[in-house]
Amino acid sequence: RWEDKTRIVHANILYDLTKGGDNPNRHYANNKIKTTKYTLLSFLPKNLFEQFHRFANVYFVFIALLNFVPVVNAFQPELALAPVVFILSVTAIKDLWEDYRRHRSDKEINHLDCLVYCRSEKRYVEKYWKEVRVGDFIRLRCNEILPADVLLLSSSDPDRLCHIETATLDGETNLKQRQVVRSFIDLVSFDPLKYNSVIECEKPNNDLNRFRGYIIHRSGKRDGLYKDNLLLRGCTIRNTEEAVGIIIYAGHETKAMLNNNGPRYKRSKLERQMNVDVFWCVIILLVMCLFSAIGHGLWMFQYGDKRPVFDVLSPEGTELSPVVSAIYLFLTMIIVLQVLIPISLFVSIEIVKICQVYFIHQDMELYDEETDSHLQCRALNITEDLGQMQYIFSDKTGTLTENKMVFRRCTVAGVEYSHDANARRLAMYQEMDSEEEECTSHGGTLPRRDSVTSHQSGKVVLRSQSTKSHRRTGSRAEAKRASILSKHTAFSSPMEKDITPDPQLMDKVNECSSQMEFMRFHSQSLNQIPPDLCDVFDFFIALTICNTVVVSSPNQPRQKVRRYELKSPVKTIEDFIKRFTPSRLTSGSNNSSSSSLATNRSSSHKVGCSMLSSPSAESTLTKLKEEKRPEHDLQHAFSPVPPNFDKTKALAQDECELRYEAESPDEAALVYAARAYKCALVGRLPDQVTVELPHLGKLSFELLHTLGFDSTRKRMSVVVKHPLTEQITVYTKGADSVIMDLIRPATDDCKGKRQRKILYKTQNYLNLYAADGLRTLCIAKKVLSKEEYASWLQLHLEAETAIQRREELLFESALRLETNLQLLGATGVEDRLQDGVPETIASLRKAGLQIWVLTGDKQETAINIAYACKLLDPEEEIITLNADSQEACAVLLKNSLQYIQKKFLCNPRPDPQATRDYAGIHFSSPMCSPASSGHSSPFLVHRLGLVIDGRTLAYALDKSLEDDFLAVARSCRSVLCCRSTPLQKSMVVKLVRNKLKVMTLAIGDGANDVSMIQVADVGVGISGQEGMQAVMASDFALPRFRYLQKLLLVHGHWCYSRLANMILYFFYKNAMFVALIFWYQFYCGFSGSSMVDQWYLIFFNLMFSAFPQLVTGTLDKDVSAETLQELPQLYMNGQNSEEYKPYMFWMNMIDAFYQSLICFFIPYFTYVDSDVDLFTWGTPITTLALFTILLHLGIETKTWTWMNWVSIGFSIALFFIVALCYNASCPACFSPSNPYWTMQRLLGEPIFYLLCVVTPIAALLPRYL
- Catalytic residue ranges: 395
Stretch that binds other proteins, among 203-211, 784-792, 1058-1066, 1087-1095 (CB under 8 A): 1087-1095
CB 488 within 8 A of CB 552: yes
Stretch that binds other proteins, among 150-158, 498-506, 515-523, 1083-1091 (CB under 8 A): 1083-1091
As measured in angstroms, the least distance from the Cβ of 1023 to other proteins is: 12
Is 667 annotated for ligand binding?
Answer: yes
Choice from 1198, 1214, 1218, 1220 touching other proteins (CB under 8 A):
1198
Stretch that binds other proteins, among 395-403, 453-461, 924-932, 1211-1219 (CB under 8 A): 453-461
As measured in angstroms, the least distance from the Cβ of 233 to other proteins is: 10
Is 1005 annotated for ligand binding?
Answer: yes
DSSP 744: P
As measured in angstroms, the least distance from the Cβ of 377 to other proteins is: 13
Does residue 180 touch other proteins according to CB under 8 A?
no
Does residue 1206 touch other proteins according to CB under 8 A?
no
Does residue 309 touch other proteins according to CB under 8 A?
yes
Near other proteins in 65-104, by CB under 8 A: 70, 74
Residue 1241 CB contacts under 8 Å (≥ 6 apart), including other chains:
1176
As measured in angstroms, the least distance from the Cβ of 145 to other proteins is: 5
Query: Which C-beta is closer to other proteins: that of 361 or that of 584?
Result: 361
Does residue 374 touch other proteins according to CB under 8 A?
yes
As measured in angstroms, the least distance from the Cβ of 1027 to other proteins is: 13
User: Is residue 608 classed as helix, strand or coil in its secondary structure?
Assistant: helix
User: Per-residue contact track with other proteins, 459 to 488, x per CB under 8 A?
Assistant: x-x--xx-x-x-------------------
Near other proteins in 1143-1172, by CB under 8 A: 1162, 1164-1172
As measured in angstroms, the least distance from the Cβ of 837 to other proteins is: 23
As measured in angstroms, the least distance from the Cβ of 295 to other proteins is: 13
Stretch that binds other proteins, among 2-10, 80-88, 897-905, 1192-1200 (CB under 8 A): 1192-1200
Does residue 596 touch other proteins according to CB under 8 A?
no
Residue 1196 sits at the vertex; the CA angle it makes with 1190 and 1201, to the nearest 5 degrees, is 80
Is 170 annotated for ligand binding?
Answer: no
As measured in angstroms, the least distance from the Cβ of 1083 to other proteins is: 5
CB 362 within 8 A of CB 1046: no
Q: At what angle do helices 269-303 and 1142-1167 cross, to 10 degrees?
A: 40
Is 625 annotated for ligand binding?
Answer: no
- Return the beta strands (E) in 236-356 as ranges: 236-238, 242-249
Does residue 308 touch other proteins according to CB under 8 A?
yes
Is 995 annotated for ligand binding?
Answer: no
Does residue 683 touch other proteins according to CB under 8 A?
no
Near other proteins in 109-138, by CB under 8 A: 109, 112-113
Choice from 311, 350, 631, 917 touching other proteins (CB under 8 A):
311
DSSP 957: T
Near other proteins in 411-450, by CB under 8 A: 448-449
Long-range contacts of 271-274 (CB under 8 A, 24+ apart): 271/349, 271/381, 273/1137, 273/1140, 273/1142, 274/1063, 274/1140
Near other proteins in 244-303, by CB under 8 A: 303
Query: Which C-beta is closer to other proteins: that of 487 or that of 993?
Result: 487
Choice from 56, 61, 167, 490 touching other proteins (CB under 8 A):
167
User: Per-residue contact track with other proteins, 137 to 166, x per CB under 8 A?
Assistant: ------xxx---------------------
Residues 1131, 1052: Cα–Cα separation, whole Å: 9
CB 426 within 8 A of CB 518: no
Residues 1017, 1035: Cα–Cα separation, whole Å: 9
Does residue 1122 touch other proteins according to CB under 8 A?
no
CB 537 within 8 A of CB 679: no
**CA separation (Å) from 528 to 518, 630, 721, 964?**
11, 47, 20, 60
Query: Which C-beta is closer to other proteins: that of 881 or that of 1119?
Result: 1119
Is 775 annotated for ligand binding?
Answer: yes
Residues 396, 762: Cα–Cα separation, whole Å: 25
Q: What's the gap between Cα 1011 and its chain centre?
A: 10
Is 855 annotated for ligand binding?
Answer: yes
Residues 1265, 1031: Cα–Cα separation, whole Å: 49
Is 176 annotated for ligand binding?
Answer: no
Does residue 555 touch other proteins according to CB under 8 A?
no
As measured in angstroms, the least distance from the Cβ of 1241 to other proteins is: 7
DSSP 901: I
Does residue 899 touch other proteins according to CB under 8 A?
no
Near other proteins in 323-342, by CB under 8 A: 332
CB 982 within 8 A of CB 1012: yes
Half-sphere exposure of residue 239, counting CA atoms within 13 Å on the CB side?
27
Is 1114 annotated for ligand binding?
Answer: no
Choice from 317, 615, 640, 745 touching other proteins (CB under 8 A):
317
Query: Which C-beta is closer to other proteins: that of 984 or that of 1255?
Result: 1255
Query: Which C-beta is closer to other proteins: that of 280 or that of 1164?
Result: 1164
Choice from 23, 67, 373, 980 touching other proteins (CB under 8 A):
373
CB 315 within 8 A of CB 309: no
Q: For residue 1207, give the nearest of 1105, 1089, 1061 by alpha carbon.
A: 1105
Query: Which C-beta is closer to other proteins: that of 5 or that of 104?
Result: 104
Gyration radius from the chain CA atoms: 37
- Return the beta strands (E) in 646-687 as ranges: 659-661, 680-685
SS in 3 state form for 1078-1147? HHHHCCCCCCCCCCCCHHHHHHHHHHHCHHHHHHHHHHCCCCCHHHHHHCHHHHHHHHCCCCCCHHHHHH
Does residue 314 touch other proteins according to CB under 8 A?
yes
Is 979 annotated for ligand binding?
Answer: yes
Does residue 310 touch other proteins according to CB under 8 A?
yes
DSSP 931: P
Does residue 499 touch other proteins according to CB under 8 A?
no
Query: Which C-beta is closer to other proteins: that of 171 or that of 694?
Result: 171
CB 741 within 8 A of CB 851: no
Query: Which C-beta is closer to other proteins: that of 383 or that of 469?
Result: 469
Choice from 654, 1199, 1206, 1221 touching other proteins (CB under 8 A):
1199
Q: What DSSP line would sit under 537-589, residue for residue?
A: HHHHHHHHHSS--EEE-SSSSS-----SS------SHHHHHHHHSHHHHHH-T
Stretch that binds other proteins, among 423-431, 533-541, 944-952, 1224-1232 (CB under 8 A): 1224-1232
Residues 315, 82: Cα–Cα separation, whole Å: 26
Does residue 709 touch other proteins according to CB under 8 A?
no
Helix residue ranges per DSSP H, 67-131: 77-110
Do you know the residue count of the chain? 1265
Does residue 1251 touch other proteins according to CB under 8 A?
yes
User: Is residue 854 classed as helix, strand or coil in its secondary structure?
Assistant: strand
For residue 1105, count other CB atoms closer than 10 A to its CB: 25
Choice from 282, 612, 1084, 1212 touching other proteins (CB under 8 A):
1084
Annotated binding site for Mg(2+): 395, 397, 1005, 1009
Annotated binding site: 395-397, 667, 709, 733, 775, 855-857, 979, 985, 1005, 1008-1009
Annotated binding site for ATP: 395-397, 667, 709, 733, 775, 855-857, 979, 985, 1008-1009
